[in-house]
């Protein structure tokens, strides 16, 4: 991705997070990056394309980062929970470093067109699969569906950072990683009340 394209996406994400997708125009984005609104059309088809590319780029970063953490055989050296621990830390860093993307993922999903939504969703599901594959050997008590649900619940915890009272980045990262590990690796005590 070119530096200019990345600048546009980053700026647009900040604007969408602050004012909402519908509260931002192409002219607003152009002014924020120092070009006219029409000049943005050299890089993107329109505002919806910019939103889609923001979310697709975020999903790509998360998925590529997750895959980098795992060796080709999927079994990390060292501790049995090493892959999951690394995934949690990587996601916590992403959430802390990209709060605007976390906000627009949560709030602006409905503004995406069907094609962009399908692309982003495909990458998100692959990312969930990486986590689920790392969790299941550590939690044999969880079936596939339960493990996926647990992973997505952990994402909710990790992605809550834009809404959290900040306690400093290092302290927040430590807190999030401890909580996510505990949520994913600690089997519930006693019978499941939902059964």
- 76 vs 188, more confident: 188
At residue 131, the pLDDT reads 96
**17 pLDDT higher than 80:** yes
pLDDT category at 187 given cuts 50, 70, 90 is confident
At residue 177, the pLDDT reads 96
At residue 193, the pLDDT reads 58
- 117 vs 71, more confident: 117
At residue 77, the pLDDT reads 55
Range from 5-19, 24-38, 75-89, 175-189 carrying the lowest mean pLDDT: 75-89
At residue 40, the pLDDT reads 93
Q: What is the pLDDT of residues 41-100, one digit of tens each?
A: 999 999 999 999 999 999 999 999 999 987 665 555 567 788 999 999 999 999 999 999
Q: In degrees rounded to 5, what are phi and psi of residue 136? A: -60, -40
Asked whether 13 and 106 are in contact (CB, 8 A), the reply is no
CA 31 and chain centroid, separation: 27
CA 131 and chain centroid, separation: 12
Residue with tokens 């070009």: 35
At residue 164, the pLDDT reads 74
Helix, strand, coil shares of the chain as percentages rounded to 5?
Answer: 75, 0, 25
Q: Cα–Cα distances in Å, from 160 out to 9, 40, 67, 78, 99? A: 22, 32, 23, 30, 9
The pLDDT mean for the chain works out to 91
Calculate what percentage of the chain has a pLDDT beyond 90: 79
pLDDT category at 192 given cuts 50, 70, 90 is low
Report the C-alpha gap between 27 and 90 in whole angstroms. Answer: 35
């Amino acid at each position: 991705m070119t530096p200019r394209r990345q600048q546009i996406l980053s700026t647009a994400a900040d604007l969408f997070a602050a004012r909402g997708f519908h509260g931002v125009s192409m002219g607003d984005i152009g002014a924020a990056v120092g070009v006219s609104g029409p000049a943005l059309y050299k890089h993107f088809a329109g505002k919806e394309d910019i939103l889609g590319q923001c979310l697709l780029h975020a999903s790509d970063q998360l998925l590529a980062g997750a895959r980098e953490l795992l060796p080709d055989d999927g079994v990390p050296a060292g501790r049995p929970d090493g892959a999951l621990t690394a995934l949690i830390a990587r996601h916590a860093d992403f959430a802390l470093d990209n709060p605007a993307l976390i906000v627009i993922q949560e709030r602006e999903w409905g503004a995406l067109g069907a094609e962009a939504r399908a692309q982003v969703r495909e990458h998100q599901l692959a990312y969930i699969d990486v986590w689920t594959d790392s969790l299941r050997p550590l939690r044999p008590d969880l079936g596939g569906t339960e493990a996926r649900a647990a992973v997505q619940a952990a994402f909710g915890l990790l992605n809550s950072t834009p809404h959290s009272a900040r306690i400093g980045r290092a302290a927040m990262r430590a807190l999030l990683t401890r909580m996510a590990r505990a949520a994913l690796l600690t089997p519930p005590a006693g019978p499941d009340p939902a059964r």
